[in-house]
């Protein structure tokens, strides 16, 4: 949904209630956990947040609060949406004079101990997929990883997308710039939050 005004909380609630009844807008559900999605643009950003258990705990807590979306020009909400499969969330973004209101559903939650998987890497994160009320279609995964072998902690974003709304298809170069800006700003938000919490 494209609007000239920032959507109100009431508008977002109504929008999510409608979207929650709908199926995904793409066919490669689970692509961020498996084989690459053919016909979709792949974006991958991976940045070290720091080291140690405290950084991993702070990064995990930041994802649970949707901190990676608190960017000023992008936000996800409701802010208290739990990280749980099936939960529906709205992503609101400002693009020039327009606001986009987009809907996604969490398709997977990652909460793995390296002891269980045998690879000495603890992971926490989730992936969500787009619903029909999104200007794009595809899936995005947000992940915090702690490699206990070298003690490094990483923030990892993996996304498969393609435009769905006609205006996004027409302005695809701008859409790509906004996707890259989101990845850069999301990393900065996570780095700042983890630095405070670790």
Domains and CATH numbers, the chain: 2-197 (3.30.530.20)
Q: Is pLDDT of 98 > 80? A: yes
Alpha-carbon torsion angle 78, 109, 150, 54, nearest 10: 40
pLDDT, tens digit, 9 for 90 and up, residues 5-26 = 999 999 999 999 999 999 999 9
Question: How does pLDDT run across 24-38, given as a tens digit for each residue?
Answer: 999 999 999 987 788
Q: How many CA atoms lie within 13 A of 109 on its CB side?
A: 11
Helices assigned H by DSSP within 46-171 = 52-64, 114-117, 166-170
pLDDT digits (tens, 9 = 90+) for 168-190: 888 888 888 999 999 999 999 99
Phi-psi category of 66—alpha, beta or left, where left has phi over 0 and alpha has psi -120 to 50? left
Q: Provide the phi-psi class of 151: left if phi over 0, else alpha when psi is between -120 and 50, else beta.
A: left
């Amino acid at each position: 949904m494209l609007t000239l005004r920032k959507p109100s909380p009431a508008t977002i609630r109504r929008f999510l209630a409608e979207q929650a009844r709908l199926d995904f807008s793409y066919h490669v559900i689970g692509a961020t956990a498996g084989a690459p999605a053919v016909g979709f643009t792949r974006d991958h950003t991976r940045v070290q947040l720091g080291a140690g258990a405290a950084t991993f705990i702070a990064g995990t807590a930041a994802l649970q609060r949707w901190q990676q979306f608190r960017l000023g020009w992008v936000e996800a909400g409701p802010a208290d949406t739990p990280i749980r499969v099936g939960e529906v969330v709205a992503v609101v973004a400002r693009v020039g004079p327009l606001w986009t209101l987009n809907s996604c559903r969490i398709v997977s939650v990652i909460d793995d101990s390296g002891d269980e998987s045998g690879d000495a890497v603890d992971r926490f994160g989730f992936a969500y997929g787009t619903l029909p009320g999104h200007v794009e279609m595809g899936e995005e995964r947000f992940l915090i990883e702690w490699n206990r072998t070298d003690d490094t902690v990483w923030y990892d974003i993996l996304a498969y997308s393609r435009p769905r709304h006609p205006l996004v298809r027409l302005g695809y170069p701008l859409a790509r710039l906004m996707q890259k800006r989101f990845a850069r700003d999301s990393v900065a938000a996570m780095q700042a939050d983890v630095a405070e919490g670790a």
